[in-house]
A and B are shown apart, each in its own frame.
Chain A
Amino acid sequence: MAYEVNGTTVEHDEEGYITNLSEWTPELAEVIAKAEDIEMDDERWEVVNFLREYYDEYQIAPAVRVLIKAVKKTMGPEKGNNKYMYELFPYGPAKQACKIAGLPKPTGCV
């Protein structure tokens, strides 16, 4: 199983999370988002970039409630809430956004 980006293939697992985190590119994010029926815009990129920075600092893909709390802390309560985040990523802000960000499945999500 793999995504196709500009003629190269990027392997992913049965749930769509990429196997080798270093193969992520912004172009790949667009491809994964499309597979998830999500149109990337500035708001969604903001969350995806936030997740990548969080992973870079803590080496962990946060669980959804942790993500929302952290977003609230850095971007404010108008974005750090369930409604806003689920509107951007209807199938779970942590799960979907992590997948698009090229991170592992969030720790603490079953």
Chain B
Amino acid sequence: MSDVKKFLYLNRRAPYGTIYALESLEVVLIGAAFEQDVALAFVDDGVFQLTKGQNTDGIGVKNFSPTFRALGDYDVQKLYVERESLEERGLSEDDLMEVVYEDEDDDWEEKPAIRVISRAEMADVMADADVVLSF
């Protein structure tokens, strides 16, 4: 039996109204040191975490959205975004920032980390995880 477990971080909150989103990202970055199979899921208001063009200059809190683009350096390569959650909020994939990772097995080619999937596929992703950490 392999020691590597599948960790799924489930994000269901918008970024700045509460501390959940930032806390989740920090746990992901710290947890990445343990070399597990890590994926992030963005469901409900969680999809708002990935909108492009965030600018927090006027509200005096740190804009942590650029940090999602560093996840590839931490070997986090799967950011699942639920299509229905986007659509319910009037968003499409075009509203999301670009996040890429470099595929070690494919000559370090840059590949998109964000994968927009259906609600049914999201349920499969959840059911496939060994551990689900909710934020």
Q: Once the chains bind, are B30 and A59 in contact (CB under 8 Å)? A: no
Q: Interface stretch among B1-9, B67-75, B84-92, B114-122?
A: B67-75
B64 interface contact, C-beta 8 A: yes
A70: chain B residues within 8 A (beta carbon)? 73
Distance in angstroms from A35 CB to nearest chain B CB is: 27
A66 interface contact, C-beta 8 A: yes
Instruction: Select from chain B the residue with minimum beta-carbon distance to A106.
Output: B29
Alpha-carbon gap, A58 to B70, bound state (A): 6
The majority secondary structure among interface residues of chain B is: helix
Q: Once the chains bind, are A62 and B73 in contact (CB under 8 Å)? A: yes
Instruction: Select from chain A the residue with minimum beta-carbon distance to B68.
Output: A58
Given contacts A107-B26, A108-B32, contact A63 B69 (CB under 8 A): no
Binding site for B on A (CB under 8 A): 57-60, 62-63, 65-66, 69-70, 107-108, 110
Alpha-carbon gap, A57 to B29, bound state (A): 16
B62: chain A residues within 8 A (beta carbon)? 59
B66 interface contact, C-beta 8 A: yes
Alpha-carbon gap, A65 to B75, bound state (A): 11
Beyond A59-B64, A63-B32, A108-B29: 20 further Cβ-contacts under 8 Å?
Answer: A57-B66, A57-B69, A58-B69, A58-B70, A59-B63, A59-B66, A59-B67, A60-B67, A60-B70, A62-B73, A63-B33, A66-B70, A66-B74, A69-B73, A70-B73, A107-B26, A107-B29, A108-B30, A108-B32, A110-B30
